[in-house]
Amino acid sequence: MASNKVYWKSFDQLANTEVSQRLAENEFAQDIPVDVFLSEASSSDSTTSRRDFLKFLGFSTAAATLAACEQPIIESVPYVVQPDTLTPGVPSFYATAYTDGQDYASVLVKTREGRPIKLEPGDSARFNRGTNARAQASVLSLYDSARLREPRLGKKNTDWASMIIALKKSADQSRAEGTQFVLLTSSVYSPSLQTAIERLRQGYPNFQHVEFDAVSQSNTLDVWESLTGVRALPSIDLTAASLVLSFGSDFLASSMAQQVSSDYAARRKPGTGMLRHVELESNLSLTGSNADKRIKIKPSEVSASLAYLINQLGGSAPSVGLRGDLTKALQSLASEMKSAKGKTLVLVGGDDANQARLAAALNGLLGSFGTTLRSDKPVYIRRGNESRLSNLIADLSAKRVGTLLVAGTNPVYFRVDFSKAIAGAKFSMALTDRLDETAMLCTAAAPIPHFLEAWADYRPAAGEYSIAQPTIKNLFNSMPLLEVLGSVSGDLRSAKDQVAASASAMGLDWNKTLHDGGSTVSSGAISGTPAAAAMAMAASIKLAKPSEGMEIALYENALGAGFQANNPWLQELPDPITRLTWDNYLTVAASDALAMGFENETNSDGSLDGSYASIKVGKRLLENVPVFIQPGQTAGTVGLAYGYGRSAAGKVADGGGVSAYALGISTGSAKVEISKAEGMHEFATVQLGHTMMGRRIVNEVNLNEFVSDPSGASWNEKPTFHTIDGLKSAEEANLWANHDHETMHMWNMSIDLTSCTGCAACVVACNAENNVPVVGKEEIRNLRDMHWLRIDRYYSSDMSKDRAAEENIGGIEMYAQMEEPSESPMVVFQPVMCQHCNHAPCETVCPVGATVHSREGLNHMAYNRCIGTRYCANNCPYKVRRFNWFNYITNEQFADVNPSQDDFGRMVLNPDVTVRSRGVMEKCSMCIQRVQYAKLEAKKVGQPIPDGAFTVACAEACSTGSITFGDVNNAKSAVRAAKSDARAYHLLEEVGTQPSVFYLTKVRNA
């Protein structure tokens, strides 16, 4: 039906007046002089002919075409069918379990447009929830272009079908010939994998499964197996502890450190009842640096000390003579332990059976079982058995092995005897992520997926079951171990189906378990406590006298056992203690270095050099080991980190450092002969000043002082200034106009120096979140690291201002001595990033205004505007600004190390953060992309941002909760509470920069 409505625009039109009629006729109010234009005389006598016009047209078309040819072609293919779960620009998170052959952690994977780009801590209910440096870095290992891409038989690439046929043929042949079919892996704690292995065992009576851990815990596991009947380590529960006594155990950096350090920090909240931690160790470890009291001890003195303590506490153990000073220290420890019975935990490091027995006995004596030491809730992530590995090596050498399948580990690198033995296998196949030392010697090698590419499940500890899910389609032609084993045993289910079957066998809801990343289950617990058995065991052991000569203790730094050695983020991560990168080295006490003629010297350009040593353990010789003089190292001992000295890991790792595994030390420590070698090694360090030079940088207070003065007036004195109006604080004595800090948000960050352990997970998290370039050893040596967040480590010095005043030592002498760290230093860590000053020295000096202040308390850096005068960096009192000295994304010097120069490595880049070009300054942005994202999300729902709705990358990665980020204008925020804490202070407050970052005084329970 046609509408008969009449629309009108004005009353005139409605009334159809004369004016409106005239207007209607005349659509355009003004005449357009078309006629004038057309009749213009000049147009007819124009010299431009039709031919000319066509020529110009042709030319300009050709020119436009040519110009178009020079444009770079960027292929960006949109989804044909857009997945409904994926919005470009919006990240998706998946719960999964992180494993790298050594560690286990429950994590959340952040993916953008189908690419995993970041790991975050998993659900708080999960076991070992959180990320250490290795976990944070593991997402880059996914995109390692050195990964094996295709299965290869001999030297030729092949397909999986032929691989499986070859493997099965060899396995069948071995069965027929009566030779062994051996699967060699690191510890297997996956229920599905255990089922698959069982099925294989049923089909092949000659099948054997050998597990070994790169850094072995075999002897300790033997002890616990004899005590509890289960091959598993007890878990430790610090929540119930008030005294931790650790003999060289680096428990804050171990594979379970996320769980342990979180409990540790919770129990070390400053106040009465704060957990006390005493460390007795030879190397200065991360854990020892955090101790309230640290006693230098040699590895060979540990057993005797433990025995001494047992005897002191009324137990029975063989007694061995000890140094007088050590005896005295142990005596006072014994009395401390007596008063903390049932709340004490004794830990040992390394893998010495006697030490494990004595520690178990001591824990039994102290009533730790069931309270701090939970042998009833064991951890299964270490199951390796060295004696079975030795048998395998013997069998290989005797050619009793027909088929050797090495999966996910690298025995040729980890065990010095293996390279010769492996030739004894008739058919050997490495299921590996790269053509590593083992794969090179195998008949066949095939790629296995990265943990982010495959289905898997785990039972890492009693009561915990977790599922790992793929977050990206496998990049290369890899097959999970579950499917490989299944193919041989005739189980053709996919890995997902196998995992799902295991989960349903446990009666778990698949979707919920998958969503949560795991579930609590009832299996795995052990009943009864072996305290009595442990004490009885200790009474009967035989102890050797502490040795006189030099001893070596091996340790793990951020690289750990070395599974991720080819990860540039880990290689470039400064060691928390030595602050060296890209290397391992012999840590030597200053007195020993002097005696043996070892030197460390700083060159005129600030680069550090060190002597070389040759070290000999038994018959094994390791040459050209760089020497680093380490304060806090027990005299008569040296330390060396695992994980370096690779020859076939990839461009990043190969040739860096020496392999500690080559020494063949099975218990973690041994007697060693050391001699000086020729030449000087080039180190790459990021820190040259090791002490605080008497300055108030890390504010530190003893617990009793802290408790007796809760206001902090005596131990957290703020700088004041004499002005014409009397004494004023740094904030008041101020020449600048203040910014408005009350309207909207005011982002602040609190860093608790008491709970910060210096583990450096935050540093790697920051690298990953903010696309921080990797610059390689040479540039680090040139003191040009690009880290936005660094963890300063300071040693105490024997010289102090008070001492200088007492002894009448002049300023020159005092400062010279202050530069020298003490032989037995106290250690403090201080994470330092851009302090986001509210009166920022950098902002005033930039000639082009490239760095400016936000009204939310942040200091912004506009890369586009920066012309690179570096004036801001010079004027930064915190020295947190980092300059792009080179074009790290194209300069060939960085091709091997910087992920953004690699087609695969580039996939790890966070699309929310600009990759900086050369010549511009960069620095911590306080994860501005996260701030903006949270603000937009809040805007969408029309609510203020709730406290804790988001946080910055470093804070999120921190297992101890040391870093708190939030809005101080939100009265209920955690950071607001922290700001009013008596421990709060600003770094270099006297400079008047009014930072948005503040620190909480370190409290030591000394």
Partner 1 sequence: MHYESTERKPLILGDKSYHQITEDVVRPIETAAPRAWWVAFSIALVMFLWGVGSLAYTVATGIGVWGLNKTVGWAWDITNFVWWVGIGHAGTLISAVLLLFRQRWRMAINRSAEAMTIFSVIQAGLFPLFHMGRVWLAYWVFPIPNQYGSLWVNFNSPLLWDVFAISTYLTVSVVFWYVGLIPDFAMVRDRAINPVQKHIYKILSFGWGGKAKAWQRFEEVSLVLAGLATPLVLSVHTIVSMDFATSVIPGWHTTIFPPYFVAGAIFSGFAMVQTLLLIVRKVFKMEDYITIQHIEMMNIVIMVTGSIVGVAYITELFIAWYSGVEYEQYAFLNRATGPYWWAYWSMMTCNVFSPQLMWSKKLRTNLVFTFMISIVVNIGMWFERFVIIVTSLHRDYLPSSWSMFSPSFVEVGIFVGTIGFFFTLFLLYARTFPVIAQAELKTILKTSGEVQKKLHNDHGAQH
**Which residue, 268 or 793, has its beta carbon nearer to partner 1?**
793
Tokens of 98: 């992180």
Give the one residue of 476, 815, 904, 933 binding partner 1; rule: CB under 8 A.
815
Q: State how far Cα 180 lies from the chain centre.
A: 39
Nearer to partner 1 by C-beta: 345 or 753? 753
Any contact of residue 794 with partner 1 (CB under 8 A)? yes
Q: Angle of helix 386-397 relative to helix 218-228, nearest 10 degrees?
A: 120
**Interhelix angle for 761-769 vs 133-142, to 10°?**
30
Contacts of 48 (CB under 8 A, 6+ apart): none
Which of 115, 450, 882, 986: binder of partner 1 (CB under 8 A)?
A: 882
Q: Is 397 left (phi over 0), alpha (psi -120 to 50) or beta?
A: alpha
Per DSSP, the three-state class of 356 is helix
Name the residue nearer to partner 1 (CB basis): 116 or 773. 773
Pairing verdict, β 293-296 and 276-281: parallel
In a 3-state reduction of DSSP, which class is residue 600? strand
| 873 vs 915 by CB, closer to partner 1 | 873
Angle CA(498)–CA(118)–CA(521) in degrees, nearest 5?
Answer: 40
Which of 420, 620, 695, 855 contacts partner 1 by CB under 8 A?
695
CB of 431 to partner 1, least distance (A): 42
Contacts of residue 531, defined as CB under 8 A and 6 or more positions apart, other chains included, come to 363, 364, 365, 367, 369
**Minimal distance in Å, beta carbon 689 to partner 1?**
3
Applying CB under 8 A, among 20, 474, 734, 875 the residue interacting with partner 1 is 875
- Pick the piece of the chain touching partner 1 (CB under 8 A) from 557-565, 642-650, 859-867, 930-938: 859-867
The yes or no reply on residue 426 touching partner 1 (CB under 8 A) is: no
- Nearest to partner 1 of 199, 784 (CB atom): 784
Q: In the window 659-688, what residues touch partner 1 (CB under 8 A)?
A: 687-688
CB count in 10 Å sphere of residue 726:
8
Region near partner 1 per CB under 8 A, out of 446-454, 647-655, 670-678, 776-784: 776-784
Counting contacts by CB under 8 A, is residue 817 touching partner 1?
no
DSSP 923-954: ----SHHHHHHHHHHHHHHTSPPPTTS---HH
Q: Is 689 in the site for partner 1 (CB under 8 A)?
A: yes
Binding partner 1 (rule: CB under 8 A), the pick from 782, 800, 817, 970 is 782
CB of 819 to partner 1, least distance (A): 8
Location of structure tokens 């349903």: 504
> Smallest distance from the beta carbon of 190 to partner 1, in angstroms?
43
Between CA 848 and CA 864 the distance in angstroms is: 11
Q: How far is the CB of 851 from partner 1 (least distance, A)?
A: 9
Count the neighbouring beta carbons within 10 Å of the beta carbon of residue 8. Answer: 11
Residues 884, 910, 960, 1005: which binds partner 1 (CB under 8 A)? 884
Q: Is 867 in the site for partner 1 (CB under 8 A)?
A: yes
* Residue 67 burial (CB count, 10 A): 9
Q: Is residue 993 part of the contact set for partner 1 (CB under 8 A)?
A: yes
370 binds partner 1 (CB under 8 A): no
Number of residues that bind partner 1 (CB under 8 A): 66
Radius of gyration of the chain (CA): 33
CA atoms within 13 A on the CB side of 324: 0
DSSP characters over 478-498: ---HHHHHHHHHT----HHHH
In the complex with partner 1, the residue whose CB is nearer, 83 or 689, is 689
| 869 touches partner 1 by CB under 8 A | yes
Q: Minimal distance in Å, beta carbon 663 to partner 1?
A: 33
Q: How far is the CB of 603 from partner 1 (least distance, A)?
A: 7
- Among the listed residues 465, 886, 950, 999, the single contact to partner 1 using CB under 8 A: 886
Is 453 within 8 Å of 495 (Cβ atoms)? no
Q: Identify the residue among 539, 697, 977, 982 touching partner 1 (CB under 8 A).
A: 697
User: 431: buried, middle or exposed (CB in 10 Å: 19+, 13-18, 0-12)?
Assistant: buried
Report the nearest approach of partner 1 to the CB of residue 808 (Å): 17
Q: Which is nearer to partner 1, 23 or 809 (CB)?
A: 809
316 binds partner 1 (CB under 8 A): no
β-partners of residue 853 are: 859
Q: Report if residue 605 touches partner 1, rule: CB under 8 A.
A: yes
Q: Which of 437, 785, 902, 912 binds partner 1 (CB under 8 A)?
A: 785
- Smallest gap, in angstroms, from Cβ of residue 30 to partner 1? 32
603 binds partner 1, rule: CB under 8 A: yes
Strands (E), 543-659: 551-555, 586-588, 600-602, 608-617, 620-629, 637-641
Strands (E), 630-724: 637-641, 669-671, 673-682, 700-702, 720-723
Which of 313, 733, 783, 938 lies at the binding interface for partner 1 (CB under 8 A)? 783
Q: In Å, what is the CA distance from 93 to each residue of 111, 122, 456, 470, 473? A: 6, 10, 18, 12, 16
For partner 1, the binding residues in 888-947 under the rule CB under 8 A are: 891, 918-921
Q: Which of 692, 907, 975, 1000 binds partner 1 (CB under 8 A)?
A: 692
Q: Residue 209 phi/psi, 5° resolution?
A: -115, 120
Q: Specify the residue, 241 or 759, whose C-beta has the smaller distance to partner 1.
A: 759
Q: At its nearest, how many Å lie between partner 1 and the CB of residue 607?
A: 8
CA dihedral sign, ordered 59, 60, 65, 71: positive
Among 4, 71, 124, 604, binds partner 1 (CB under 8 A): 604
Residue (203 or 877) nearer to partner 1, CB: 877
Binders of partner 1 in range 834-853 (CB under 8 A):
841, 843-849
For partner 1, the binding residues in 333-352 under the rule CB under 8 A are: none
Q: Name 920's Cβ contacts closer than 8 Å, sequence gap at least 6.
A: 863, 866, 868, 883, 884
> What is the smallest separation between the CB atom of 893 and partner 1, expressed in angstroms?
9
In the bound complex, what is the minimum distance in angstroms from residue 688's beta carbon to partner 1?
5
Residues that bind partner 1 (CB under 8 A): 602-606, 687-695, 697, 779, 782-785, 790, 792-794, 811-812, 815-816, 830, 832, 841, 843-849, 865-871, 873-875, 877-879, 881-887, 891, 918-921, 988, 991, 993
